[in-house]
Amino acid sequence: MTPLPSPLLIVTNRHLTHRDLLDVIDEAVNAGAGWVWFRDKDLERAERFELARRIQKMIGNRAVLSIGADVDLACDVGVSSVHLSMSADVKAAREKLGAESLIGLSAHSLADVLAAKSFGANYVTLSPIFATQSKPGYGPELGLSALSAATALDIPILALGGIQPENIQRVLNAGASGVALMGAIICGDNVGGNVRECLSGLHCPLKTDHP
C-alpha cells in the first residue's frame, strides 16, 4: 500500500485567506508541508482545472498534490492522488490513476472507516474530531474516543476538524496517523510559521523557508 506522503495534510479553502491561494500554498510547502489537498469544489470545472494545474506546476516535486472529489481532474492535471467522498468508487479510481495511486476517503463514523478499508482506500480523514470554526454546523464532534476506536481498524486515520497545534499531541496519543488541517494553517499571515508549529507537534524534522 502506498505510504502517506506526510502526517500533515493541508486542506485548501481560498475563501479563508485574503491572499492568493498559490502564494499561501507556496509558503506552506517552503516551510516543509509535503502534502496538499486541493478542495475548493465551488469553482467551475475549467477554473478548477486551471487553478489545480497552476498549483501542481508551482509545487513540482516538492510536495504531493491530492485533488478533491474529481478523479478525471486528477488525470487531466497529471497527478495520481485524490481525496474522495465515501460514495466514490475506489476501484474505478485506482484503475484510472494506477495501482500505486493514493486514494483517501472522507469518513464521519466508524462504519465509514470500516467501509473505506473494505473499498481499498489508502487512508481516511475522520471528522469532525472537535468542533470547527472552518465549517460551523458541520456535525457533532466525534471526540477522541471515536478516533481511538477508528485507529484500531487498521487503516491510517487523519484527524480532521478543530485540530490546532495545542491538541495535535492528543490526537496522536489517540492513535491518529496524522492530521488534516485547514484554518489552523491557511488563516492569518504567518502560514509558514503555522506549518512549522504543526510539524513540530507531529514530531517532524523542520526546515527553513526556502525552496
Cell numbers representing residue 78 in the block: 497529471
Structure confidence at residue 134 as a pLDDT band (50, 70, 90) = low
Query: What are the CA-CA distances from residue 189 to residues 20, 61, 63 (Å)?
Result: 12, 25, 21
- Answer for the pair 31, 38: CB distance below 8 angstroms, yes or no: no
| Range 17-34 average pLDDT | 96
Multiple choice CATH, 8-201, 3.40.50.300, 3.20.20.70, 1.10.150.120, 2.40.40.20: 3.20.20.70
The H or E element that residue 125 is part of is strand 123-126
Return the domain boundaries, the chain: 8-201
- Average pLDDT over the chain, rounded to an integer: 94
Distance CA(194)–CA(138), nearest Å, equals 24
Structure confidence at residue 106 as a pLDDT band (50, 70, 90) = very high
Q: Is the pLDDT of residue 13 over 50?
A: yes
185-194 LR contacts (CB < 8 Å, sep 24+): 185/10, 185/28, 185/33, 186/10, 186/12, 186/13, 186/16, 186/17, 186/24, 186/28, 187/16, 187/17, 189/19, 191/24, 191/27, 191/28, 191/31, 192/27, 192/28, 192/30, 192/31, 193/31, 194/28, 194/165
Minimal CA–CA distance to 35: which of 74, 78, 67?
67
Distance CA(29)–CA(12), nearest Å, equals 13
Q: Is the pLDDT of residue 207 over 80?
A: no
